[in-house]
Amino acid sequence: MQRPVVTVDGNEAAAYIAHRLSEVVAIYPITPASAMGELADAWTAAGKPNLWGDIPTVIEMQSEAGAAGTLHGALQSGALTTTFTASQGLLLMLPNMFKIAGELSPTVIHVAARTIATHALSIFGDHSDVMTARTTGFALLASASVQEAQDLAAVAHAATLETRIPFLHFFDGFRTSHEVGKIERLTDDDLRALIDAGAIAAHRSRALDPEQPVLRGSAQNPDVYFQAREACNRFYDAVPGIVTTVLQRLEALVGRRYGLFDYRGHPEAERVIVVMGSAVGAVEETVDALVARGEKVGVVIVRLYRPFAADAFLATLPTSARVVAVLDRTKEPGASGEPLLQDVATVLAGAAADGRAMPRIIGGRYGLSSKEFTPAMVKAVFDEAALPQPRPRFTVGILDDVTGLSLDVDPSFRAEPPGVVGALFYGLGSDGTVGANKNTVKIIGEHTPQFAQGYFVYDSKKSGSITVSHLRFSPVPIRSTYLVDSASFIGCHQFGLLATIDLLSRAADGATLLINTPYGAATWDRMPVEAQRQIIEKKMRVFGIDADAVAKEAGLGGRVNTVLQTGFFVLSNLLPPDEAVMAIKDSIRKTYGRRGEAVLDRNFRAVDGARAALFEIVVPEAATGLVHMRPPVIGAAPEFVRTVTGEIIAGRGDLLPVSAMPIDGTFPTGTSQWEKRSIADEIPVWDADICIDCGRCALVCPHAAIRIAYVDESALAGAPAGYPHRATVGKDFPGKRLVIQVAPDDCTGCSVCADICPARSKELVKHKALDMTPKDTVLERERERFDYFLTLPPIDRREVAIATLKGSQALQPLFEFSGACSGCGETPYLKLITQLFGDRLVVANATGCSSIYGGNLPTTPWSVDAQGRGPAWSNSLFEDNAEFGLGLRLGADARHTAAVRVLRGLRGILGDELVEGLIAADQTTEAGIFDQRTRVAAARERLEALGTAEAVEALPLLDGLIRKSVWIVGGDGWAYDIGFGGLDHVISAGRDVNILVLDTEVYSNTGGQASKATPRGAVAKFASAGKSSGKKDLGMIAMAYGNVYVAQIAMGANMTQTVKALAEAESYPGPSLVIAYSPCIAHGFDLAKMMGHQKDAAASGYWPLYRFDPRLAASEDKPFALDSRPPTMPFKEFAAAEARFSMLAGADPERSEELLKAGQEDIDERRRYYEQLAGLERGLPGDEVTV
Amino acid sequence: MKPDLSTRYLGFRLRNPFVVSASPLGRDLDRLLLLEAAGAAAVVLPSLFEEQIEHDSMLVHTTMEHGTESFPEALSYLPEMSSYNTGPERYLSLITRARESLRVPVIASLNGASPGGWTSYARRMQDAGASALELNVYFVAADMDETSEQVERRYLDIVAEVRRTITIPLAVKIGPFFSSTANMARRIVDAGADGLVVFNRFYQPDIDLENLVVVPDLKLSTAVELRLPLRWIAILHSRVKASLAATTGVHDHFGAIKLLLVGADVTMTASALLIHGPGWIESAIAGLGEWMVEHEYTSVEQLKGSMSWRGAPNPAAFERANYMETLASYEVPR
């Protein structure tokens, strides 16, 4: 029977089965599993039925814990239920998983296996998450490829119903979940043949139903619990047999054979690797290559990991095995070995007791956090196993120069079978390279008999990010589960990348290079000499195309993807050129067809234009270039930045040894300043003559790339020629000169500053005090000017009214040059709090966008001032951030208390005046804080000189006497959903913490899934039909406590109110909650217009501004100040500017109309309510009773 | 005896010469039904704009693509919709629904400025059921290198291309800014137009004095604006083999009568309807009938063109002399 062949990624492969075989799907976004939930939601929204004709209910929950609870409940009601998750999400499901398994409830949780956060978060793949579920009682079934992700998903669904044991079906995050491959799709007939209808009926018959009432979930005592726990044993005993029969049914249907364990290799292998997950592909290739050389090696592939079928394992492992090397993609510090190793050892020890020859068992860790695992590394394991005394425990894939555990790897070893064509494409996220390559994989996969594989590597920046696409094409199925390292085609889709990345190091001899170049015949001379040398050495052919010009001519701006895709097809000969062009156009039609004819026309024009624009570049015999590659960091950087951070930036992080790494995840701040990414095409240039000194540009800059200084004229004596400055305007900084400077290599070109600039030339209205200017025309001048700017003396904080717009912008930002999206709506607020309180700021940062652009290596935007002071930052988890921040507060308070106690004992040494000054310091002003620091310095000096035991005890406590500003920062996904319970508790605790909610109204970091902050009528993932319910009013919930400072702000709507609210929140000695309107890409409008749009948000009443200050309640005043005026713009007009609303108006006008009407009613009612609140006097709630 | 108000336009026998011109009035079916009930003899639907189709679909495209495939945790930011309706589907559906519900002719309107793929929409409008098509060529010749001949060629190419595409009657709505309007009118008819609609009113730019930005603005017409079509209908009547529709400035039945007198087959109205509502048509029809009775006209056909360039007692008044006399009638301030 002919089955459809599709080209999908692992997530889609598994989700397809899950949706077909479920009635209820409870979801929550988490990387790398989010796509499974998104697809399930989209299919349900599109009315796609399950196997039985019903449309599955897909419900987004507030957390994975919530999803697991819903899963548990739906199972108890007899529904076929599933969920998807990874990493911390799986951890949140564990409590329910024990229950689900304990109640023998059949379900499948599909997991895109991902690293658990330890010393650092990582979104990438390993088995540390699924290994935490070993004790839950779930069966664990591992898929090793995209095809298996589909096949074994179906097996899991079938087996769980028959066994009553819940299954955790997992495949490796990113390597499998995001690998695009050609697979044969299971048909509905296949699924019907796999699923036992009787088992479904039996599951339903166990549903909680008052017609046949039972009690499930009792509490048991020591007398019976143990026996009851053992009562399930025979069900676990039956699992291997039942799974085997399901696998056999599958084989009978589709011909693909899977066992609980499978063996591949020499029939009398002496060295055998045991492994599961995506590494199987690389190990199989290596085994094949080594066996072909005559080596006696083999691999046991683990599919059903739990229950661990000992007999099946022993039957699979050749008895000839002398050394068994068990590879675990996880780490259990302190264990005698990692989990798979322990299972294997236990089984073999038992077998040895029964008389089977006991092989030597060695165990190694590999591939943590998607670390590459290549045939060369596999061979290193076999080589180790061949030694007379192999290391019992090892790591492979890294250089461990501290504990010496790592194996040496010969990188020249390759095992890729002949006939495989590898291609690499280097581009920017914004140029569409990855999207086109995904289509290329589909074209080859679906238009030719060839197999195709696509795997995509992204960097961790959200703006200007570089992508590398690894594509393989082969006449046989592709098992190479590692990056392409010998490519016969290299596409360089941005000329500038030649100077920053060594993109030819993975080129094979004789490879073809296609460069997007505006330089035509002069291209060769513009290439870095390092690239030229490699081209000559590897005898490469080089082709050029001015893809930007072709795309521009076709009306596609910078989207060069279809141009270069055409170039690849023409040069690669994978398809006859005419056929390729037709196939490309067909794929364009499929991908973009719904968006309109104009989109198709323009892309077709780009494809047609590409062929004519392709030209060959003559390669001379010697490198002649004068240009060199750029160093990853600038020379003045500190040693750690140069030797570690710089290597990571340069793409050589894999080569860093263990000794280079901090032991506990602690990194220096202030590192983004050394990473000059220079990603902007245009940067703002200041015209001092027409500037009105308003400070707005620096305030709104999301990247701290516009700086303001107020200096004495004398300080400008050494300025470069023509350095612009002007007299200040207004009374804030009398006598000072104003300097506004762009950081040219750090600006992302978002143009928010130029958009907001109110100062226009009288002679030429379009000319503003800040004009976006082509960077190349001013770069050298502005670099010199910025370097000089950094030498200007910082203003004395004591002289500044910091809680004002202009005052705040006179202060140094200690959050700078983040990798956030260009025009990010969140970062201006973070930067502002660092200006206001940065030198005494402690930040608890919920996982999300802000933790990624704030803490994802290689660099951090959190920075330090000239004294080395600056924000101390930490990310604990997603769900616990409020509690974590409260802990930081309590810890700081405890340190203060201890410091006071110790100081009191040191009166005799330090003197009463100093001690009293330190203990009773008024630190409510900058001057007060300065004085306290002076006292602390004095005390330190004396105590260090003293050197006694009591002095030594006091020294680490001294800084605890300086007032700390604790800020708990996170997005709406955290504050409104997963972390709400904790947030609620923390604000009820009355402690002095400040909570800043960067409200983008969606889960931005995972790609725009709806949260409870998503407004009615907006389209978001998980709410693709438009969110039907209104936004939760978090501020009002907090206000109900009465003693919580609450403010809602929108910088673009009212800058003064924003600064004031943040300053008030910080000064309030109890809990404060500030909800900040943060426009995001997911809103679907030009973020350059972000500030004006925020103004419209307030003007339409969509985002009301207010402040609730309990201090006013204490004085029997009206504590609620409604800071925004009555709406002057209909909601519909505001909404029309955002795609998240207007897309629905296009797709479903009637529903959109209804939702917008309801949205307007929400606004009207809220305004009416707030206006009443603004007129109310209110007292504080009673104090906590402490007696 | 009640005079016969019927007239012929684009081959249709219309019950009176009052036609609803392309405007927001035609956006929804309920209002179209009200207009028909009030007596409208035909309706021109609001224009489908070439730029709008392009703009909407490219906006959706760029918005959907922005930020995608850049960051491993968020490969996209917005869900794909089953449809974006950036194309003409909604408009085509309006045509179909209007034809199903109305008895009077439903004239679709297509607005564009360049020959190309978009003219295929004309065919789709025909397939959707449009009784006729009004082609609105709106083009500001701002390119210093483009000659008047090239501009004229652009008009003619578009008309010819659309003519080839459809079989239903084709009216072309033109602006008054040709060097030789009369000659262009004839060439447009020769290129395939069955009717001319004179004249287009352009969105003219205005300046927001507070924010110092240029803002597009459309003011409703005033009765005085009727003079321009009046002149040109008079000049064109019976000299081009095409129906003539007068639009702009028709604010009462007197204006309509004047236009009919100079040769208009129909008069088209939007501003007055926007101001007064559908009832305006009813009173205009009544007013026309009364005037005809009073002035002893038996039919609109009898009235039409009786004071055109050919029929007026002083035809030179439609030409340059008119201009000189008007100026001369003003006293120069001292």
Instruction: Tell me the C-alpha distance between A466 and A355, whole Å.
Output: 57
Question: At CA A1044, angle to CA A1043 and CA A1047, rounded to 5?
Answer: 140
Interface touch A598/B54, C-beta < 8 Å: yes
For residue B83, pLDDT beyond 80: yes
pLDDT (average), residues A611-623: 96
Q: Total structural domains in chain B?
A: 1
Across the interface, whether the CB atoms of A1146 and B75 are under 8 A apart is answered no
Per-residue model confidence (pLDDT) at position B318: 77
Residue B1 in any domain: the answer is no
How high is the ipTM of this complex? 0.93
Q: Do B84 and A430 touch (CB under 8 A)?
A: no
Residue with the larger pLDDT of the pair A103 and A947: A103
Q: What is the pLDDT of residue A866?
A: 95
Residue of B nearest to A436 (CA): B69
Nearest CB neighbour to A599, from listed B57, B85, B90? B57
Helices of type H across chain B: 29-38, 50-65, 89-101, 120-128, 148-165, 181-190, 227-236, 253-262, 271-276, 279-294, 300-303, 320-328
**Residue of B62, B74, B84 with shortest CB distance to A1143:** B84
Mind telling me how many Å the CA of A1020 is from chain B's nearest CA?
6
End-to-end CA distance of chain B: 55
- Residue B334 belongs to some domain of the structure: no
In a domain, B155, yes or no: yes
CATH at B15:
3.20.20.70
pTM of the model: 0.94
**How far away is chain A from the Cα of B117, in angstroms, using its nearest Cα?**
8
At A754-796, the pLDDT tens digits run 999 999 999 999 999 999 999 999 999 999 999 999 999 999 9
Judge whether A467 and A458 are in contact, CB under 8 Å. yes
Let me know if residue B70 belongs to a domain: yes
Using CA atoms, how far apart are residues A255 and A15, in angstroms rounded to an integer?
22
Contact B65 A435 (CB under 8 A): yes
From A433, which residue of chain B is nearest by alpha-carbon distance? B69
Inspect the interface and report whether the beta carbons of B61 and A852 lie closer than 8 Å: no
B64/A1146 Cβ within 8 A = no
For residue B333, being part of any structural domain is answered with no
Q: Looking at the partner chain, which of A430, A460, A1082 has a beta carbon nearest the beta carbon of B77?
A: A1082
Q: What integer pLDDT is reported at residue B117 of this predicted model?
A: 61
The pLDDT value recorded for residue A625 is 82
Count how many Cα atoms sit within 13 Å of the Cα of residue A651 in the half-sphere of its side chain.
18
pLDDT above 70 (res B322):
no
A with B: how many residue pairs have Cβ under 8 Å apart? 153
Q: Which of B49, B51, B81 to mutate to test the interface with A (most CBs of A within 10 A)?
A: B81
CA-based nearest distance B112→chain A, Å: 14
Alpha-carbon span A406 to A555, nearest angstrom: 53
**pLDDT tens by residue, A848-907:** 999 999 999 999 999 999 999 999 999 999 999 999 999 999 999 999 999 999 999 999
Q: How many CB atoms lie within 10 A of CB A950?
A: 12
Residues of B in contact with A852 (CB under 8 A): 73
Please, which residues have CB within 8 angstroms of residue A1130's CB and are 6 or more apart in sequence?
A1100, A1160
Residue A476, Cβ density class (10 Å: 0-12 exposed, 13-18 middle, ≥19 buried):
exposed
Asked if A1006's CB is within 8 angstroms of B73's CB, the reply is yes
Q: What is the pLDDT of residue B313?
A: 82
Of B68, B73, B86, the CB nearest to A1146: B86
A1017-1024 average pLDDT score: 94
Collapsing DSSP states into helix, strand and coil, what is residue A943?
A: helix
The confidence band for A1187, taking pLDDT boundaries of 50, 70 and 90, is low
* Pair A492, A426: CB distance under 8 Å: yes
Which residues of chain B does A850 touch, with a Cβ-Cβ cutoff of 8 Å? none
Contacts of B210 in chain A (CB under 8 A): none
CB A551 within 8 A of CB A563: yes
Give the minimum alpha-carbon distance from A431 to chain B in angstroms, rounded to a whole number.
9
Is B324 a member of any domain? Answer: yes
**Which residue from A46, A1021, A1149 is facing B82, i.e. has the nearest CB?**
A46
Q: Flag whether pLDDT at B334 surpasses 50.
A: no
Tell if the CB–CB gap between A31 and B86 is shorter than 8 Å.
no
Average pLDDT over residues B149-166: 94
Least Cα separation, residue B210 to chain A (angstroms): 12
What does the pLDDT look like over B221-274, one tens digit per residue? Answer: 888 889 999 999 999 999 999 999 999 899 999 999 999 999 999 999 999 999
Rounded CA Rg of chain B: 22
| Chain A CA closest to residue B210 | A758
Residue B215 pLDDT level (bands cut at 50, 70, 90): confident
Residue of A nearest to B60 (CA): A595
pLDDT of residue A105: 98
Distance from CA of B234 to the nearest CA of A (A): 41
Could you give the CA distance from residue A1093 to residue A1075 in angstroms, rounded to a whole number?
Answer: 17
Given a cut of 80, is residue B320 above it in pLDDT? no
- The reported pLDDT for the residue numbered A177 is 98
> How confident is the model over A297-309, as pLDDT tens digits?
999 999 999 999 9
Q: How many angstroms separate the CA of residue A530 from the nearest CA in chain B?
A: 27
Distance of CA A811 to the CA centre of its chain: 31
User: Does some domain include residue B184?
Assistant: yes
Mean pLDDT of chain B: 90
**Residue-wise burial string across B179-190, b where 16 or more C-beta atoms lie within 10 A, e elsewhere:** eebeebbbbbbe
Asked if A458's CB is within 8 angstroms of B70's CB, the reply is yes
> Does B294 have pLDDT greater than 60?
yes
Partner-chain residue, chosen from B63, B74, B84, that has the shortest CB–CB distance to A596? B84
Instruction: Point out the residue among B57, B66, B67 whose CB comes nearest to the CB of A597.
Output: B57
A724-755 pLDDT, tens per residue?
999 999 999 999 999 999 999 999 999 999 99
In chain A, the percentage of residues whose pLDDT exceeds 70 is 100
**Residues of A marked as catalytic:** 31, 64, 114, 1005
pLDDT tens by residue, A657-707: 999 999 999 999 999 999 999 999 999 999 999 999 999 999 999 999 999
- Write out chain A residues lying below 8 Å of B62, CB-based: 557
Suggest the residue from B48, B49, B77 to mutate for an interface test with chain A (most A CBs closer than 10 A).
Answer: B77
Instruction: Compare CB distances from B117 to A31, A601, A852 and report the shortest one's residue.
Output: A601
Instruction: Name the CA radius of gyration of chain A, rounded.
Output: 32
> In terms of CA atoms, which chain A residue is nearest residue B81?
A1147
- Domain residues for B29? 7-328
Structure confidence by residue, pLDDT tens digits, A342-384: 999 999 999 999 999 999 999 999 999 999 999 999 999 999 9
- Average pLDDT value for residue range A82-101: 98
In a mutational test of the A interface, the residue from B57, B70, B208 whose CB has the highest number of chain A CBs within 10 Å is: B70
| pLDDT, mean over chain A | 96
Residue-wise pLDDT tens digits, B11-42: 999 999 999 999 888 888 999 999 999 999 99
Cα–Cα distance, A43 to A58 (Å, whole number): 9
* Per-residue model confidence as pLDDT tens digits over A265-274: 999 999 999 9
Pairing of strands A487-492, A466-474: unpaired
- What does the pLDDT average to over A231-252? 98
Q: Which residues of B make CB contacts under 8 Å with A?
A: 53-54, 56-87, 90, 117, 212
> A1038-1055: per-residue pLDDT in tens?
999 999 999 999 999 999
Q: Give the chain A residue whose CA is nearest to the CA of B76.
A: A1007
- Chain B residue whose CA is closest to A467: B70
Predicted pLDDT at B328: 46
Determine, for residues A1019 and B81 on separate chains, whether the beta-carbon distance falls below 8 Å: yes
pLDDT (0 to 100) of residue B327: 47
Residues of B in contact with A177 (CB under 8 A): none
Closest CA to A278 of A171, A425, A118: A171
Q: Can you give the pLDDT at residue B211? A: 84
Q: Cβ–Cβ of B58/A1006 closer than 8 Å?
A: no
Q: How close B51 gets to chain A, by Cα (Å)?
A: 10
